[in-house]
Amino acid sequence: MTGQNTEKAAYKLDELNREATIGGMGVSVARAVPQIDMADFEERKTEIADQLWQAATGIGFFQLINHGIPDDLLSSVYDKAWDFFNLPMAEKEHFPLKPGTNAGWEFRAQVRPSTGTPDNKESYQITLPNMTGLWPDDEQVPGFQHTMRLFEQANWKLGMRVLSCFALKLGFDEDFFTKLHNPVSPTYQSTLRLIHYMSMENAKPEDFRFWRAGAHSDFDCLTLLHQRPGQGGLQLCPGKDATSGEWTDVAPDPGVVTCNIGDMLMRWSDDKLLSTLHRVRMPYPDEYLGPRLSVPFFCQANRDAVIQGPEKKYAPITAENYLKERMQANYAEKKELIAGNG
């Protein structure tokens, strides 16, 4: 089967080689990240698809405005995320991230090939078929499960709109990707992730040498990221490697959803849609030093989806096998599956 040999060798895929060489600071360079208006989506689909294609074949990042995810839902997600992260450690430990499931809580466990050190963060991941025993109850965090399910669904819907535009552009049926991100299937593996990057307010100068999130590309098809205004740090470096060392801050403007293409869609588009390296840097001394909360949603095709582009540039591979290969590099020393999306 395709992939079996490559699965055995961590770092074998091009993406991993790319990641392993990009731990340096680099320099800061301003670049425009296109903003794309999703208003009146059905009527404006052709125009929106053109804009998405241009951004995704260029810088690989774009920001959606008028995306339809209600502000009050987003605020409620942030409130409940804090309620969760503020639980005592001993309570959070009841929801451990289970290897290979992208579900549950981890604390400073994700080591990036690019840095070799754990990201300075804790996170809680929601992958719907894998959540048994992993939801805090309404006494611990009132309304947590209800709110997160609503938000997961809202992100899925927006993600599928974007993917339907890429499907049209690639010559697939409009609902091609939607059918392969089927949320009622047991093979569903899209993930909502709540991330708490630790406050740097009382940190020692040497702690600033590390990364909130080391440079990486995402494994999935498409990532929708919610950043909080005033809590920046996300940077991108376009192209297939970071040899330029030129990183661009992606502003956490209010009301935008920041999107990037992941490796899975890059492969599925025969390398036309570009998965772009990104990272989360530490704040500069004159910036906000408090904790940072971000919420990405990873649109990741169902495990049994077969990935092959219209031009058949790469051999077919199931999403499950593709992710196995991709994940092996991101495990902590015990080679456990820490996080399988970004």
User: 239-250 as b/e, with b when 16 or more CB fall inside 10 Å?
Assistant: eeebeeebbbbb
Residue 155 engages ligand AKG in binding (rule: CB under 6 A): no
Radius of gyration in angstroms for the set of CA atoms belonging to the chain, rounded to a whole number: 19
Q: Is the dihedral of CA 299, 192, 215, 15 positive or negative?
A: negative
In the bound state with ligand AKG, the residue whose beta carbon lies nearer, of 49 and 266, is 266
Residue 225 engages ligand AKG in binding (rule: CB under 6 A): yes
Sorted by sequence, the CB contacts under 8 Å of residue 187 that are 6+ apart come out as 129, 302, 303, 304, 305, 320
Position among 227, 275, 321, 328 found at the interface with ligand AKG (CB under 6 A): 227
Which parts of 242-301 interact with ligand AKG (CB under 6 A)?
Answer: 278, 280, 294, 296
Position among 113, 118, 340, 342 found at the interface with ligand AKG (CB under 6 A): 342
Given ligand AKG, Fe ion, none, residue 121, with its beta carbon under 5 to 8 Å by kind, binds: none
In the bound state with ligand AKG, the residue whose beta carbon lies nearer, of 36 and 234, is 234
Given Fe ion, ligand AKG, none, residue 63, with its beta carbon under 5 to 8 Å by kind, binds: none
Given ligand AKG, Fe ion, none, residue 109, with its beta carbon under 5 to 8 Å by kind, binds: none
Position among 36, 148, 234, 307 found at the interface with ligand AKG (CB under 6 A): 234
CB of 219 to ligand AKG, least distance (A): 9
Residue 218 engages ligand AKG in binding (rule: CB under 6 A): yes
Other beta carbons within 10 Å of 220: 30
| Residue 278 parent element (H or E) | strand 277-280
Alpha carbon distances (Å) from 116 to 35, 48, 74, 185, 280: 34, 39, 33, 35, 15
Can you read off the two tokens belonging to residue 173? Answer: 């049926």
Distance of alpha carbon 49 from alpha carbon 237, whole angstroms: 23
Can you read off the two tokens belonging to residue 285? Answer: 């001394």
Distance of alpha carbon 33 from alpha carbon 292, whole angstroms: 21
The interface mask with Fe ion, positions 211-240, x = CB under 5 A, is -------x----------------------
Residue 263 engages Fe ion in binding (rule: CB under 5 A): no
In the bound state with ligand AKG, the residue whose beta carbon lies nearer, of 160 and 280, is 280
In the bound state with Fe ion, the residue whose beta carbon lies nearer, of 19 and 218, is 218
Binding site for ligand AKG (CB under 6 A): 195, 213, 218, 225, 227, 234, 278, 280, 294, 296, 342
